[in-house]
Amino acid sequence: MFRNTLKKMDTELQDVVQYTLDINGAKHNMNNYIGKQIKIDWSGEVICSCEKKMNKFYRSGFCYKCYWESPLASQSIFKPELCTAHLGIEERDLEWEKNFQLAPHYVYLANSSGIKVGITRGTQGVIRWMDQGASQAILLAEVPNRRFSGDIEISLKRFVADVTNWRKMLSGAPEPVDLVQLKEELSLHVPEKLQQYILPNNTVTEIQYPVTQYPKKIKSVKLERTPIIEGKLLGIKGQYLLLDDDRVFNVRSHEGFISAFSHQEIAQQGVLF
């Protein structure tokens, strides 16, 4: 059902992040296409996680019904500090929420467009950082549920951002920051009852992206406005494809778009297929 939709690229941390796009039964190693021509062709339809097909999503990648009823679109998904499953209080579907929220979560600091604080579930840390285009990251705390991670995030938001400035992230690598020192400073502001969850391990993960050229004046392209997007792939960072003419395409924000993907060699070498 979903094999012909765009999904966020799979990432693997190597010397340079390796990106794989899985669509229409093929796994494309996107790093191999840098310097080549790629094409994304949207059918004009999108599909919600409930399998409803439409011409466009109602909001945030959901159909109307899911946006208002699914636990995947509840308020606490966007604001973890509103999570209540640890108290046995239901938001939309207590069983689902218990399963999702009552699991180890991590609070981290990442340097993508400047420093931000974020949270992630289970072992998703590195994947999250690659998806956000972070160049450096460090784990700050490990907590037993999502709510506690939200509480720590809130306490640190006064000092650092909690969102990535994607335009800045796509305009180059950020200045390196001493994350170990920053972690020590910020840890002092974690609420006392949550201090016990601060991690002693200060490993900093450094991440490099396959970018040959950053855009100068970023133009974000979207399939709703341009159903066929094609051009030379100049790099990949976060979940963005960097194309010629300063264009950037956010793969993640097009999840659920029923599309075809193809690639070609450029010029003399001839057409691959």
Cβ neighbourhood burial of 161 (10 Å; 0-12, 13-18, 19+): middle
The CA-atom distances, in angstroms, between 254 and each of 5, 56, 91, 116, 251 are 9, 11, 27, 24, 5
CB of 67 to Zn ion, least distance (A): 8
Helices (H) and strands (E) in the chain — how many of each? 7, 14
The CA-atom distances, in angstroms, between 164 and each of 136, 143, 258, 264 are 13, 23, 27, 32
CB of 146 to Zn ion, least distance (A): 23
Q: Which is nearer to Zn ion, 50 or 89 (CB)?
A: 50
CB atoms within 10 A of CB 43: 14
Q: Which is nearer to Zn ion, 27 or 59 (CB)?
A: 59
Q: Which residues of this protein are in contact with Zn ion, per CB under 5 A?
A: 48, 50, 52, 63, 66
- CA dist., res. 247 & res. 257, Å (int): 19
- CA dist., res. 263 & res. 26, Å (int): 12
Q: Which is nearer to Zn ion, 1 or 267 (CB)?
A: 1
Residues 6 or more apart from 202 whose CB is under 8 A from it? Answer: 138, 180, 183
CB of 80 to Zn ion, least distance (A): 23
DSSP label of 35: T
CB of 68 to Zn ion, least distance (A): 10
Rg of the chain in Å (alpha carbons): 20
CB of 62 to Zn ion, least distance (A): 6
Q: Which is nearer to Zn ion, 70 or 149 (CB)?
A: 70
3-state secondary structure of 224: coil
CB of 59 to Zn ion, least distance (A): 11
Q: Which is nearer to Zn ion, 66 or 243 (CB)?
A: 66
The CA-atom distances, in angstroms, between 145 and each of 72, 192, 232, 247 are 17, 17, 43, 39
CB of 255 to Zn ion, least distance (A): 13
Q: Which is nearer to Zn ion, 48 or 110 (CB)?
A: 48
Q: Which is nearer to Zn ion, 52 or 86 (CB)?
A: 52
